[in-house]
Each structure stands twice: as C-alpha cells, then as structure tokens.
C-alpha cells in the first residue's frame, strides 16, 4: 500500500470510530433523545476534516494559526463531539459528560474555546455570518488560517443563510469553505416537500461560490474535493455540497424522519452496532 492508501485506511477507521461514538452518545442520552440522524450523516465529513484537513494543535486550542471550524448545524453535535474526541481535543471524561445536567456538552454545543469549540450552535442559519467576521479578521491579521462551516440543507431555508452567502462572495472570502450536509431531510421530513429550494448547486453558484458536489460518505472523494478547493484560492468562497444520507449506516434510521431526534433503546443500539460493525 502506498502512503495515500494507508492514510485513507486511517481516515476510514476514524470514521468508523466516530460513527460508534455517535451511537454511544445516542444511547447515553437515554430518554432525552438526541439528534442521531443528523449526527450520522456528517460522520465522514467530520472524519476528513478532523483527520486530515483542519490545522489544529490538540494541546493548544488557542493556537493562532489554527483553522476555525464552525458547526452551523448544531444538530450535528453528536458527530462533532465524536470527532473532537477522536482527535483528542476533548477527553474521554468530556465525551462521557454528554447531556449531563449542567455539563459542558449538551445536545447543542456551547461556546467552549478551551475545548476547541469556537461557537455555540443551535439557532440555524447564523453560522456563516459569524464565520465571515472570523475570515475577515484572519485576513486582516495576516494569518494563514481558514474557516470551515458545516451547514445543513434544511438550514438553507433560513433567509440569513443567503444574506451571509452574498456577503461572503462580496468580500471575496476565499478562506472560507462551507460544507452543506445535503441529506435531503429536515425535521418534518423530506426537504423538497417541506420547502423546495430547487437547484441548490445553481443557487450557490449564482451567489458567487465555487461549488463542488460530492458523495459525502466517500472519504476519498471528500479528500480530493477539499484538496482541490483549498488549492483554488481564486477570490471566491467555496461550498461543498456533500450528498449524504440521514441516519447513514443504520437501516432503520436511514432517511427516516423519526430519527431526526429520537432515543435509542439498548435493543436499537445493539442492532445499530451490529449493522455498522458486525459483531466487533
């Protein structure tokens, strides 16, 4: 195997571990339930970001030259926490405090710079604006850092997304990469039935973005896409439309709106683990 294959295997293993942690967190949430479906659709995206693309120092979350990651779709918290844990940015103790009363890791992230969490999330459609401010500041300060924003496709219903999209290209912020978790589902069901946004690729193109569509569960494709986008730096912001499946990996969750937010019984959990990892 050449080094790229080895790296790919490593990333795939990371994705497996992230997926397992997402399910563990889903079980840990007990009857409170958690956003399992939207957590599972971003597993590979988080793996490539935290395993390969993002520059960070797990020992120094305040490192100036770090890339900034903004989880705009707060509903992806499970995948986010799992990636932070896999990257040793947060500890086992941290991850075990998920959804503990008064804890630091509730079902929508809180602002926690000491643990690498650059923003609180939960209210949809506002993360890209925040990222623009950061990206402008980074340019002014002459830092090489980039800003990555993970957004949901349902989230793009919000008008503020398009205010920020206009602003992003107006200010030529080629240091921002937005990833859209295009799982075609939102809380109440299928996106096009709830609010048909028509051609999402054309929309972002018309707002002045480099747009690349990709299989959001294919690590190799994601990797190539990020590499090519990061090499572009053509004065335009970029968006990756990651085609994903809500609840990816677990047959009874996939494309099932019931699993947007739900709780796992021990039985469900066992079945899910079995499906994703066999008996291992």
Partner 1 sequence: MMINKIQIKTWAKLGHRGTLGTSLLELASNLENLMVLTADLSTTSGLTRFEQTYPDKFLNMGIAEQNMVGVAAGLAKEGYITFTTTFATFATMRSCEQIRNYLGYMEFNVKIVGMASGFSMGMFGNTHYAIEDIALMRSIPNITIISPSDCFEVNKSIFAVALLKGPVYLRLSGTMNTPIIYQDDYEFEVGRSIILRGGDDVVIIACGTMVSVSLSAAKILESVGISAAVINMHTIKPIDKQAIASACESSRLLVTVEEHNIIGGLGSAVAEYKSTLKNTPPQLFIGIPDTFCKPGDYQYLLNHFGLTPESIAQKIQEHIH
Residue 140 lies near partner 1 (rule: CB under 8 A): yes
Residue 55 lies near partner 1 (rule: CB under 8 A): no
In the complex with partner 1, the residue whose CB is nearer, 41 or 129, is 129
Segment contacting partner 1 (CB under 8 A): 5-13, 78-86, 127-135, 263-271?
127-135
Residue 119 lies near partner 1 (rule: CB under 8 A): yes
Segment contacting partner 1 (CB under 8 A): 26-34, 88-96, 133-141, 192-200?
133-141
Question: Rounded to the nearest 10 degrees, how much is the dihedral formed by the CA atoms of 272, 260, 79, 253?
Answer: 20
Segment contacting partner 1 (CB under 8 A): 29-37, 120-128, 191-199, 259-267?
120-128
Buried b (16+ CB within 10 A) or exposed e, 180-195: bbbbbbbeeeebeeee
Segment contacting partner 1 (CB under 8 A): 51-59, 118-126, 180-188, 259-267?
118-126
CB count within 10 Å of CB 6 equals: 10
| Residues in region 146-205 near partner 1 by CB under 8 A | 160, 163-164, 166-167, 170-171
Pick one of 34, 41, 87, 129: the residue that binds partner 1 (CB under 8 A): 129
Pick one of 36, 49, 135, 191: the residue that binds partner 1 (CB under 8 A): 135
Please say whether the beta carbons of 98 and 51 come within 8 A: no
Nearest Cα to Cα of residue 270 among 250, 254, 245: 250
| Residues in region 84-103 near partner 1 by CB under 8 A | none
In the complex with partner 1, the residue whose CB is nearer, 9 or 170, is 170
CA–CA dist 60, 66 (Å, integer): 9
Q: Can you give the binding site for partner 1, defined by CB under 8 A? A: 111, 118-120, 123, 126-138, 140-141, 160, 163-164, 166-167, 170-171
């Amino acid at each position: 195997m050449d080094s790229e294959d080895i790296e790919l295997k490593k990333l795939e293993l990371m994705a497996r571990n992230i997926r397992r942690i997402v399910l563990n967190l889903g079980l840990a949430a007990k009857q409170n339930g958690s956003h399992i479906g939207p957590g599972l659709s971003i597993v590979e995206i988080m793996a490539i970001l935290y395993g390969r693309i993002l520059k960070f120092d797990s020992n120094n979350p305040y490192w100036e030259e770090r890339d900034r990651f903004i989880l705009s779709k707060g509903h992806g918290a499970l995948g986010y926490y799992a990636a932070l844990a896999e990257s040793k940015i947060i500890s086992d103790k941290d991850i075990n405090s998920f959804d503990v009363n008064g804890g630091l890791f509730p079902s929508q992230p809180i602002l926690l710079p000491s643990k690498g969490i650059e923003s609180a999330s939960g209210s949809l459609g506002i993360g890209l604006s925040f990222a623009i401010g950061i990206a402008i500041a980074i340019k002014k300060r002459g830092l090489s850092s980039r800003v990555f924003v993970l957004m949901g496709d349902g989230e793009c219903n919000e008008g503020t997304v398009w205010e920020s999209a206009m602003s992003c290209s107006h200010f030529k912020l080629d240091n921002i990469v937005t990833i859209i978790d295009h799982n075609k589902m939102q809380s109440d069901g299928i996106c096009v039935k709830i609010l048909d946004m028509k051609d999402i690729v054309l929309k972002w193109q018309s707002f002045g973005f480099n747009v690349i569509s990709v299989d959001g569960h294919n690590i190799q494709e994601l990797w190539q896409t990020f590499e090519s986008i990061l090499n572009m730096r053509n004065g335009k912001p970029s968006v990756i439309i990651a085609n994903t499946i809500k609840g990816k990996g677990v047959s009874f969750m996939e494309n099932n709106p019931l699993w947007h937010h739900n709780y796992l019984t021990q039985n469900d959990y066992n079945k899910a683990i079995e499906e994703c990892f066999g008996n291992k």
